Structure 1
C-alpha cells in the first residue's frame, strides 16, 4: 500500500512539473513572438525603437505561410512621437499626407517587406504601423 502511494505521489509530481513547464514554455513563446513582431515591424518600416514614453503597445499578426502582416499601435505624447519620426530612417524627410488630425506616411519598406505605412492621429496621440511581406 505504501509503495502504491509513493508511485501515485511521484506521478502527481511529474504531472505538475510537466504542466508547469508547458505553461512556462507557452508564456515565453508568446513573449518571444511579441518581441519578434515588434523587431520585424521596426525593420520593415525602417523605424527606430519606439519612444520610451510609448504605452498601450499592441501587436496584431496576420498571414499564412506565404504572407506575413503586422499592425502595431501605441500611444505617446505628440512631441515624443514627432522626435521619433524625425530620427527614424523610414519617416525622416518624408512629407506625410494629412487628412484632418491624421498624418499618413508611406514608407519605403526595408528588410524584404513589400509595404510599410504609418499613421499618426494627432488628436489621440496614437501611432498605427502596418507592414507586410508577401
Structure 2
C-alpha cells in the first residue's frame, strides 16, 4: 500500500501542475501555439501573419470561461502596412493615435468573440483578442 501511494502521489502532483499550466497560466505550450495564433486572427478578423516576422511571442490569459490571447511580433513597415490592408477588420478601421502608437479597436470580434485591440508602434505589432 505504501509503495502504491509513493507511485501515485508524484503522478497526481505532475498532473495537477500540467492542468494548472494548461488552463490557468499564461504559458502557451508549443503544440498550442499555432492554434492560439489562428484563433486570435479569427476572433479579430485579421489576415494571416506576415512571413518575415521576428520576436514572435504568444501568451494567454483567462479561466475556463474566458480566454484572451496576446500575440506580439516585429516585422518591416511594408509588411505591417500590407497586413493591415489584407485584414478585414483593420483595412477600413480608423486607428486612435497615442504618441507613436496606432491603436485599432475591434469590437465586437468575429465568431461571437468579445474582440480586442491591435496596437502598432513602428515595426512592432501587439494583438489582444478575447472571448467570454
TM (norm. structure 2) is: 0.75
Q: Counterpart of 1:63?
A: 62
CA shift at 1:97, angstroms?
Answer: 0.6
Q: Counterpart of 1:126?
A: 124
Residue 65 of structure 2 aligns to a residue whose secondary structure is: coil
Aligned-residue Cα RMSD (Å) equals 1.3
Q: Return the alpha-carbon distance in structure 2 between the equivalents of residues 35 and 61 of structure 1.
A: 13
After TM superposition, the structure 1 = structure 2 runs for residues 1-134 of structure 1, keeping only pairs within 5 Å, are 30-108=29-107, 109-122=109-122, 125-134=123-132
CA shift at 1:115, angstroms?
Answer: 2.0
CA shift at 1:78, angstroms?
Answer: 1.0
Aligned residues: 104
Unaligned runs of 5+ in 1: 1-28
Q: Return the alpha-carbon distance in structure 1 between the equivalents of residues 94 and 50 of structure 2.
A: 20
Post-superposition Cα deviations, 1:40-98, rounded to whole Å, max 9, x if no partner, equal 00000111111111111110111111100001000000111011101110101111011
Q: Counterpart of 1:22?
A: none
Unaligned runs of 5+ in 2: 1-27
TM (norm. structure 1) is: 0.74
